[in-house]
Chains A and B, each alone.
Chain A
Amino acid sequence: MAITIFSPVTRALETLGDNAYFFKSIIRNTFRKGFEWNEFYRQCYNTGYKSIGITLLTGFILGIVLTLQSQPTLKDFGAESFIPGMVSISVFREICPVIIALICAGKIASGIGAELGSMNVTEQIDAMEVSGANPVQFLVVPRIFACMLMIPLLTIIADALAIFGGYMATNLSEGMTFKLFFTKAFSVLEFSDIVPAVIKSVLFGLAIGFTGCWNGFNSTHGTESVGRAANKAVVTASVAVIVIDVIVVQITSWVVYS
């Protein structure tokens, strides 16, 4: 009886242990001789370049929506001149990092999960191993580092576009030069707005790459497990993004604002 009651707990602990072991082997393979630079560039292209379109669109629309929603309220208080600052602070600190990470969780984590999952099912990962390559070094490390580099970059692109979107939206109702808007938007930003946000994005990238790779590598044999790996990767990555967000925000508020 005791065994059946505790079995979900033991299974969860086992999974956690497996995750920790996988993470350890990633760390070990990161520092092993022969970093796969070509594979890294290819993954940067796949994860970063191919997500630029969706990032531009999302950032632009976020800026517009944020402005349109807050404009009437700020107008009532005669505080319209705060719009640029409000847009830039909320976008830089919170909105863009999280939204872009969630979009990438959907796009990149599922892509990695499905790709590695199908490589696992068709024995390509085994084939790499017998061909003298280390699959973690060749497949996992470059993907995770690509995510850790590209997701912050995508976030910064989205930030810029959101500010532009905010400018467009204010300009619909009243005239404000682009230069003035931009100056106002950036004058409120501080070190403590940007650096923690970038660190947060790097951690989001790590979470997205890791969950994608882990689920891909641990897909069982059989084609349906590829879909399951992709699905699990998205769900776990999205939850991880939210959890990391709350932790980093809490730490930032202790360290920076206190």
Chain B
Amino acid sequence: MKAETETVIEIKNLEKSFNGNLVLSGINLSVKKGESLVILGRSGEGKSVTLKCITGLLLPDAGSVKVFDNEIAELDVESLKNLRCRMGYLFQGSALYDSMTVRENLAFPLKRILKIKDHREIEKRCVQVLQEVGLQDTIDKMPSELSGGMRKRMALARTLVVRPEIILYDEPTTGLDIITSKEISQLILKMQKQYQTTSVIVTHDIPCTKIIADRIVVMNNGTYTATGSFEELENSDDEFIRSFFN
């Protein structure tokens, strides 16, 4: 029972500014194990910055970010690397390595995070994860040959291939047609159920939110204004929050 309510990500009073421009002004957030949390918010609100603070790609100006009870800013390079091995990050623009084939893209984290050396094992895992995202025919293609939806799926595959305990999704469905974005949402949900990952999903896509979210937080002016389930926020009294849902 205890394992299920364990807090894996804990953010307290997180502040971050760029060149004197305050982006995050005191964020508090905690994510429980196995939960899928959706962060809603307008563009430029600092959602991606929040995710980057969680992985330690950006360091907070003030406040604390703890993942598995480790204070990110205090970790040395090696421990940060080890901690990152337990986290996956799906980048907003997919961030596929364009000089590598799909296979090499998938092998990259396998070799480095799971330290797999055996070629057959790598091949097996690549094929398996591509089947899960429905891209089995693309293994020898270059990322530039893939369509927008395929690139997102590919990025998802690259995140999933190492089976992280936490996955941070940065706008997994933005820019895709409704059908593809539903497919991707279903896929995220399926992976979530299958591997019991903890997910933090940044999106503005309401149908996608409805499919995935256990809990939603809404971000406004660099802080969180509301939190609750889909139904609670959909029927909120606050005009701003309701505006996301219609």
User: Which A residues contact B (CB, under 8 angstroms)?
Assistant: 115, 119, 122-124, 126-133
Contacts and interface: CB of A to CB of B under 8 A. Distances in A.
A132 B97 contact: no
B87 A130 contact: yes
A194 to B, nearest CB: 36
Interface stretch (B23-31, B105-113, B123-131, B226-234): B105-113
Which size class do B's interface residues fall under? Answer: 20 to 34
B89 interface: yes
A115 to B, nearest CB: 8
Given A131-B113, A132-B81, A132-B85, A122 B95 contact: yes
Contact of B84 (A122, A124, A130): A130
B112 A133 contact: yes
Interface of B: 52, 55, 57, 81, 84-85, 87-89, 91-93, 95-99, 108-109, 112-113, 158
B55 A133 contact: no
A131 B91 CA distance: 12
Contacts of A119: 97-98
B92 A133 contact: no
Contacts of B89: 126-127, 130
Given A132-B112, A132-B113, A127 B85 contact: no
B85 A124 contact: no
8 contacts: A119-B97, A122-B93, A124-B95, A127-B91, A131-B113, A132-B81, A132-B85, A132-B113
A126 B91 contact: yes
Nearest to B110: A131
B108 A130 contact: no
A129 B91 CA distance: 12
Contact of A124 (B57, B97, B109): B97
B112 A123 contact: no
B105 to A, nearest CB: 9
A128 B89 CA distance: 11
A119 B97 CA distance: 8
Nearest to A34: B112
A130 B67 CA distance: 14
Given A115-B99, A130-B88, 15 more contacts: A119-B97, A123-B92, A123-B95, A126-B91, A126-B95, A127-B89, A127-B95, A129-B84, A130-B55, A130-B87, A130-B89, A131-B108, A131-B158, A132-B84, A133-B108
The 8 closest A-B pairs by CB, nearest first: A132-B112, A127-B95, A131-B109, A123-B95, A132-B113, A123-B91, A130-B89, A124-B95
Nearest to B114: A132
B162 to A, nearest CB: 8
Nearest to A124: B95
Nearest to B90: A127
Contacts of A126: 52, 57, 89, 91, 95
A130 B81 CA distance: 8
B6 to A, nearest CB: 23
B84 A127 contact: no
Nearest to B112: A132
Given A124-B97, A126-B57, A131 B112 contact: yes
A115 B99 CA distance: 10
Contacts of A130: 55, 57, 84, 87-89
B112 A124 contact: no
A35 B148 CA distance: 34
B92 A124 contact: no
Contacts of A115: 99
A130 B89 CA distance: 7
B120 to A, nearest CB: 19
Nearest to A123: B95
A130 B159 CA distance: 10
A40 B119 CA distance: 21
Contacts of B92: 123
A232 B99 CA distance: 23
Contacts of B113: 131-132
A132 B109 contact: yes
